[in-house]
Amino acid sequence: MIALALWIMETTGGNWWLYVWIVWLTFTLVMFWAWPALIAPLFNRFSPLDDESLKQRIQALMDKCGFRSKGIFVMDGSRRSGHGNAYFTGFGSNKRIVFFDTLLETLEPDEIEAVLAHELGHFRLRHIQKRLLSTAAISFCALALLGWFAAQGWFFHGLGISQPSPWMALLLFMMVLPVFTFILQPLLSRLSRKHEFEADAYAVRQSSGKDLAQALVKMYRENASTLTPDPLYSAWHDSHPPAPVRIERIYANMNA
């Protein structure tokens, strides 16, 4: 991808950054589609869920939420850690529901159903599409900014470079980019936490809020997550709300 970006920078003129953005966005969408069936199996083993009782419960929940997938799979996450998780991946006709084997060993069926309802909330509320759009918008602005910087002699001279070049422009930009992303981080974290709250509220409507809260407690314990992070640090960096705040909101939704 870097070699292709450099080739585009050298051969397409002043609008090179737009062509790089189009190529990057296309690559991202292709990877998102190909990940569940072609790439993830290279690193983990995915087996169809063989618990028929749990499978029927999950299928009933998916029917209720209007979700269609190409299968329900168990991933051998225990080969690397005790971390437990559940997610769906892919889009279009290539969507899959995936459970870590560690999650199935830790949670009760009711709790597994509640966790899945949370993940389906992300689907029904179009959080994945919103995040893709926001990422595309941010990358568009970043590449447009790089395109402008690359045409400014002071950008190179101010950083001690006497011979400007496309590869040097790209390298310098990647070095200074964290300054800008650090400023944007609390906004992105806030948006992510908002989506988590919304998915929790959806799960409360579709399943049991009490089971979701119990599942979160178990998952935080198994994953050794900090339950009381520094509020300022959490607001700036954390993509998920702290456990006590999240559970309090779940019970508030149950009583609403």
| Burial status of residue 210 (CB atoms within 10 A of its CB: 0-12, 13-18, 19 or more) | middle
Torsion of CA 99, 102, 106, 109, to 10 degrees: 20
Give the CA distances from residue 53 to residues 56, 58, 59, 109, 110, in Å, rounded to whole numbers and listed in that order.
Answer: 5, 9, 10, 9, 12
Q: How many CB atoms neighbour CB 4 within 10 A?
A: 13
CB 51 within 8 A of CB 74: no
Q: Please identify every residue annotated as catalytic.
A: 119, 200
Strands 86-89 vs 72-75: parallel, antiparallel or unpaired: unpaired
CB 96 within 8 A of CB 74: no
Side chain identity at 174, as an amino acid letter? M
Side chain identity at 89, as an amino acid letter? T
In the numeric block, which tokens belong to residue 73?
């799979």
Q: For residues 49 and 99, what is the distance between their CA atoms, to the nearest angstrom? A: 9
Return the H-helix or E-strand segment holding 102. Answer: helix 101-106
